[in-house]
Amino acid sequence: MQKLKILILEDTLEEASLLEGFLLDRYEIIGIAKNFNEAVAFYHLYKPDLAILDIFINEEREGIRFAEYINTKEPIPLLFLTNAKDTLSFSSAKKTNPFSYMLKPVDLYGIHFNIELALEKFVNGVGQLSTKDSSVIRMNKELFIKKKDSLFKISKDDVFYVEADDKYCHIFTDENKFLVQKSLSSFAEEFSELFIRTHRKYLINRTQISRIDVADYNIILQNEVSIPLSHRHKKEVLALFNILK
């Protein structure tokens, strides 16, 4: 499990330190770049989940240049911070499809809210994080889970199974357990390529199946956890495997 990784592009030491102080307890700051080339190096080396960019670096629109560069590679949510209030800068920034635009000076609550909003907009899930205490969104191959005030990232491949609990679900990895406000049906729909339903209360990761006890209607996962296999879902689950007779 990892915290959300953030790249900062900011050439003013005082403002960079202020940002880092706001973010460090909830997120992982993978680097504070002072120019375009440093930002590119951090981007490729650490693969951030989100970037916070000052538009003007050394009086040039380096933040916009870096955003344009990212969008030709593997796009991530972008959040612009700037002192610039002119229409031209705003119009130029808009062309890079940022997910938030904030005027300095930033404040603690504003920056955290805009980070969540940027993630939500990136995956077309506005309201999924910012309005709930225990929530989850999917971005590419990762799940971003909000736990209290922090966002954690886990690979969907690391999830062993999901268990329904009324309007909530428990997500189980090898080392952690998360309670999120999401229905099991929603999980089944969003992750149909990886998870399969074995019971009205359970989804399991196909790649984590160790063996199937057909006689007792149980599935044993790689971590030796036993998950019930209902008669209703038995045929679908067994169809995943070539059974030698």
For the stretch 50-97, pLDDT in tens is 999 998 888 888 998 999 999 899 889 889 887 766 566 666 666 666
- Long-range contacts: 213-216, Cβ < 8 Å, 24+? 214/238
**Phi, psi dihedrals of residue 214, rounded to the nearest 5°:** -65, -35
Based on C-alpha coordinates, what's the Rg of the chain? 21
pTM for this model (two decimals): 0.75
Q: Which domains does the chain have, with CATH numbers?
A: 2-122 (3.40.50.2300), 156-238 (2.40.50.1020)
The per-residue pLDDT for range 159-213, each reduced to its tens digit, is: 999 999 988 899 999 888 888 888 898 888 888 888 999 999 999 999 999 988 8
